[in-house]
Chain A
Amino acid sequence: MNSSQRIAVQRYAAAYDALSQTAEQAAARARQLTTVAQALAPVEDLLNAPEIALLQKKQAVQAALNEEPQIASFVQVLLEAKRYTLLPAIVQQVQTLADLRQGIMRARVFSAQELTADQQTHTEQALSSRYGKTVKASFRTDKTLLGGLKIWCGTELIDGSLQGQLVRLQEELTK
């Protein structure tokens, strides 16, 4: 994705987010958009295909999303502007904006071994108290860390992994 595409993503997401009045509404609508995007994923190629007429695509979307008129028109706007390829990124950004309204922070936690449920809640609590916001984390494993945790929270990187410590030890020794 290039710079202008990233800017477009932020603008479409901001517009979609602005349609909701309250934080709860925004969260609900973000969830709806996520569901719709997942449902449309199998026909993504068709919706991006240039040989199919725009009108046909729009009619298909209208028929499929009859019960969600606002989402249907949002998708149609994207199709018209030839920005449908950006939908996954837009969904993510909409989610971020909804989180922001609710005071939720997303974190990505990497660990060498899978964490137990207990450890996961403990991590989330620790992060929440550090940032003063509700932190919702997604957990992934990364064998190269060897041990400990590596956490991306917003634009901050907390590196408590064994691998990171070894790298820092190496830097210290070669200084």
Chain B
Amino acid sequence: MAIRPEEITNIIKEKIEHFKPSADIHEAGTVIQVGDGIARVHGLERVKSSELVDFGNGIKGMAMNLEYDNVGCVLMGPDTQIKEGDVVKRTGEVISIPVGADVIGRVVDPLGRPLDGKGPLQADKNMPLDIVAPGIIDRQPVKQPLQTGIKAIDAMVPIGKGQRELIIGDRQTGKTAIAIDAIINQKNIPEKERCLCIYVAIGQKQSTVAQVVKTLTDFGAMDYTVVVSATASDPASLLYIAPYAGCAIGEYFMWQGKDVLIVYDDLSKHAQAYRQMSLLLRRPPGREAYPGDVFYLHSRLLERACKLSNENGGGSLTALPIIETQANDVSAYIPTNVISITDGQIYLETNLFLSGIKPAVNVGLSVSRVGGSAQRKTMRKVAGTLRIDLSQYQELAGFAQFGSELDKESQRQIARGQRMTELLKQNQYSPLTVGEEVLVLYAGTHGYLDEVTVPDVLTYEKQLLSFTHAQRPQVLQALNSSNELTAELEKDITGLLDEFKTVFKAGK
């Protein structure tokens, strides 16, 4: 609809009429030093820690250091317009983000300002960014599975709703890909159980974020996703508050009884931004020059992931923090911190990635400390021994390389292991439903692949799925909906697999 000129005039007139010319009384101070995104302010005697202060020109700051004769503030915008002697006013508020149902499908910055050019946001309320995590009484144990649609993860490192599962690995090992696949997979899940997704980009390239948003849009995943973006060119203060902003949006929906999945991509850059701010504020550096409270920085964030009790609506917030390691060094400061905070990790390795195993999940080092209780019974039954089988295979594969004679049982284990490794490979952006996963893994663990050659395994999988979709969709439906692998259902599956065996052989 075209905007009529008198409308604007009316709005302005209304605004002018409602504007009350009155004296503006504020507790204030003056800037004594500014630079590097930090301002030191004299005055502001009664300012509180983390309070928002107003530098004028629409630039806000946060009081971080309350010192004997000055206040150290971080600026939430460019520092070029601020000069010595400028007036800084107290606002009496802590930093908060406007939230509402309107925010779904949008790209916003950590202060809730839209970045996608789709117009202003209608907010229901303001959520303060730094909220203390719900207490013990407010929670219940993590027990519902959250399907990522990735075979290797759903089978061996199951993630539960309300869990915190770290995705860790070097650059270019597919960390973001796993998170994005998990978001895309929510499309496969009936709306009632579907998670709302929040993707928080911290310190990434604008182009990468644009790519992620495009991918999510292409797969129709933006309908239930919020992207919070603080890119590499934003001030460190925005990078610092970005995960808390994303979490605040997530909590808003969680307290409405919804399930929320939040991805922090990535927390290494978050720690670096916090280190920059801390050092410029002259806080003492510790190990790797990070400040002393860098553990608390992440623990208070990840502690906010939870499964609420039924009295509180039963909502959940599942966190997938991402950490980038340097040269596979998981014993660096930030990786060890976050590993110890989270309920498990998915460890990705360059070697595996380069040898074609994608997702490059290292089975031995990846764990989920919530484990089986966050897995469907059908999946648990099928994948129960998968981890052990694979690690035994890897042990034996070492021997087999020397060309030594192996007994029949070992040869069988190696053959099975090779096929299972092959079966767990999965392309990006192609998440599977639970039913598909269970069916495929059932075929693998019950020896149906033993007669298929290793290079043919993925073809087998593909054809099996299309065969089932065409001929026996009711089996997949049953697998998707039922929680228990009944004898009847198992009979259906074996019947299906036996039938497909002949079809596959004939096709060869």
Q: Which A positions have Cβ atoms within 8 angstroms of B?
A: 3, 6-7, 10, 152, 155-160, 164-165, 167-169, 171-173
Interface: B496 (CB within 8 A): no
CB pair A158–B23 under 8 Å, yes or no, is yes
Chain A residues with CB under 8 A of B21: 165
Which of A6, A159, A164, A173 lies at the interface centre, i.e. has the most chain B CB atoms within 10 A of its CB?
Answer: A159
Q: How far is the CA of A152 from the CA of B23 in the complex (A)?
A: 13
Residues 13 to 54 of chain B near chain A (Cβ within 8 Å): 15-16, 19, 21-29, 43-46
- Nearest A-chain residue to B22, judged by Cβ: A160
- With A155-B29, A157-B89, A160-B23 already in contact, the answer to whether A169 and B43 are too (CB < 8 A) is no
Chain B residues with CB under 8 A of A3: 67-70
Of the residues B15, B22, B25, B58, contact of A172 by C-beta under 8 Å: B15
- With A157-B87, A172-B19 already in contact, the answer to whether A10 and B27 are too (CB < 8 A) is no
Of the residues B23, B43, B67, B68, contact of A155 by C-beta under 8 Å: B43
Chain A residues with CB under 8 A of B29: 155
Of the residues A7, A155, A168, A169, contact of B27 by C-beta under 8 Å: A155
Chain A residues with CB under 8 A of B27: 155-157
Which of B24, B26, B27 lies at the interface centre, i.e. has the most chain A CB atoms within 10 A of its CB?
Answer: B24
- Nearest B-chain residue to A162, judged by Cβ: B21
- Nearest A-chain residue to B16, judged by Cβ: A169
How many B residues touch A, CB cutoff 8 Å? 25
- Nearest A-chain residue to B43, judged by Cβ: A155
Q: How far is the CA of A39 from the CA of B89 in the complex (A)?
A: 38
- Nearest A-chain residue to B24, judged by Cβ: A159
Chain A residues with CB under 8 A of B23: 158-160
29 A-B pairs with C-beta separation under 8 A: A3-B69, A3-B70, A6-B70, A7-B68, A7-B69, A155-B28, A155-B29, A155-B44, A156-B26, A157-B25, A157-B28, A158-B25, A159-B23, A159-B24, A159-B25, A159-B26, A160-B22, A160-B24, A165-B21, A165-B24, A167-B56, A168-B19, A169-B19, A171-B58, A172-B15, A172-B19, A173-B12, A173-B15, A173-B16
CB pair B24–A168 under 8 Å, yes or no, is yes
CB pair A10–B25 under 8 Å, yes or no, is no
CB pair B26–A157 under 8 Å, yes or no, is yes
10 A-B pairs with least C-beta separation: A160-B23, A157-B28, A159-B24, A155-B43, A155-B45, A6-B69, A165-B21, A158-B25, A158-B23, A157-B26
Q: How far is the CA of A30 from the CA of B44 in the complex (A)?
A: 26
- With A3-B69, A169-B16 already in contact, the answer to whether A156 and B28 are too (CB < 8 A) is yes
Chain B residues with CB under 8 A of A169: 16, 19
Q: How far is the CA of A56 from the CA of B16 in the complex (A)?
A: 68
Chain A residues with CB under 8 A of B43: 155
- Nearest B-chain residue to A175, judged by Cβ: B15
Chain B residues with CB under 8 A of A173: 12, 15-16
- Nearest A-chain residue to B68, judged by Cβ: A7
CB pair A156–B69 under 8 Å, yes or no, is no
